[in-house]
């Protein structure tokens, strides 16, 4: 194996580490963002519940006030009973009192239902608040971990980029371009070993896509320190030490 191919293989090792590091950083970012979205959603839902609670409380208070007003009306009607001059008038007032009482009973039922609903929403608000606190804790710890890792990751990235650039100096520009272009399609893995499947039949294949590689290509790779792309997946082929 010639120095160019060897350098490319070293470069691929660095690329592997770079991609893994960037993937890990991106994954951490994604979890922080997901947790942030979850928190925001919970906060919005809780705010809606609080609004709902406020409305229900205002509704209950206004109905309770109505009941009080009606009760005081009944009080007045009772006094009127004592001063009724005719039987007809007396009966009319009594009938009004009974009808008002029926109304009050109906309204009291509604208030009772509202109060039950208020208790329920209040419970839900409390539970949602607990969930918000837990989500916030989780978000804080994810952010702390992210910040703790940041300095080390940046250092590692810088070191790998530096190694990469040193190594790149020893590779012809056109080869490097090709390596980078192909690598973009395969998460930095531009190189593929040629593997010998059947020694008797001299059958070779590309380890990237498993398609056959001709003996001419193998001969080329054995004799030259140049790149040859797999005709199927375009990866840059090389012969591992055993086969070269
Ligand atoms: Zn291939």
pLDDT in tens, 79-90: 999 999 999 999
Return d(Cα 227, Cα 179) in angstroms, integer.
9
Give the Å distance between the CA of 233 and the centre of ligand 1. 4
CA 187 to ligand 1 center in whole angstroms? 15
Total length of the chain: 244
- DSSP β-bridge partners for residue 212: 205
The residue among 173, 164, 188, 166 whose CA lies nearest residue 236 is 188
Band of the pLDDT at 1, cuts 50, 70, 90? confident
Residue pLDDT, tens place only, 163-200: 999 999 999 999 999 999 999 999 999 999 999 988 88
Q: Where are the beta strands (DSSP E) in the chain?
A: 191-198, 203-206, 212-213, 236-238
Nearest to 10 by CA among 153, 157, 154, 160: 160
Expressed in angstroms and rounded, the spacing between residue 230 Cα and the centre of ligand 1 is 5
Q: Which of 219, 215, 216 is nearest to 204 (CA)?
A: 215
235 CA to centre of ligand 1 in angstroms:
6
**DSSP at 226:** S
**Cα 78 from Cα 98, distance rounded (Å):** 11
Three-state DSSP state, 52: helix
Question: What distance in angstroms lies between residue 110's CA and the mean position of ligand 1's atoms?
Answer: 75
The third-level CATH classification (topology) of the domain covering 10-168 is Helix Hairpins (1.10.287)
Distance between Cα 169 and ligand 1 center (Å): 27
pLDDT tens figures, 92-121: 999 999 999 999 999 999 999 999 999 999
Q: How far is the CA of 229 from the centre of ligand 1 (A)?
A: 8
CB atoms within 10 A of CB 116: 10
In this prediction, residue 150 has a pLDDT band, given cuts at 50, 70 and 90, of confident
Within the chain, which residue ranges are assigned CATH 1.10.287.1490? Answer: 10-168
233 Cβ neighbours under 8 A, 6+ residues apart: 186, 192, 206, 208, 209, 211
Could you give the maximum distance between any two Cα atoms of the chain, in Å? 129
Cα of 218 to ligand 1 centre, how many Å? Answer: 13
Task: Look over the chain and give the mean of its residue pLDDT values, rounded to a whole number.
Answer: 94
Surrounding residues of ion ligand 1, Cβ less than 5 A: 206, 208-209, 230, 232-233
Ligand 1 center–CA 189 separation, angstroms:
12
């Amino acid at each position: 194996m010639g120095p160019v191919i060897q350098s490319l293989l070293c470069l691929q090792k660095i690329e592997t580490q770079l991609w893994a590091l960037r993937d890990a950083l991106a994954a951490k970012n994604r979890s922080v963002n997901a947790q942030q979205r979850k928190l925001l959603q919970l906060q919005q839902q809780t705010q809606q519940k609080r609004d709902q609670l406020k409305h229900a409380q205002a509704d209950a208070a206004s109905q309770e006030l109505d009941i009080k007003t009606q009760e005081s009306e009944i009080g007045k009607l009772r006094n009127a009973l004592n001063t009724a001059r005719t039987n007809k008038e007396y009966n009319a007032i009594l009938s009004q009192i009974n009808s008002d009482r029926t109304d009050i009973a109906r309204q009291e039922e509604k208030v009772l239902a509202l109060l039950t609903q208020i208790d329920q929403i209040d419970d839900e608000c409390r539970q949602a608040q607990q969930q918000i606190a837990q989500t916030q804790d989780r978000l804080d710890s994810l952010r702390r971990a992210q910040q703790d890792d940041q300095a080390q990751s940046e250092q590692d990235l810088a070191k790998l980029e530096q190694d990469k650039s040193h190594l790149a100096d020893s590779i012809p520009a056109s080869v490097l371009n090709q390596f980078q272009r192909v690598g973009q399609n395969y998460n930095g893995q531009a190189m593929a070993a040629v593997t010998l499947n059947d020694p008797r039949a001299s059958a070779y294949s590309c380890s990237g896509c498993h398609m056959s590689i001709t003996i001419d290509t193998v001969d080329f790779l054995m004799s030259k320190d140049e790149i040859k792309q797999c005709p199927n997946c375009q990866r840059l082929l090389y012969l591992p030490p055993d086969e070269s």
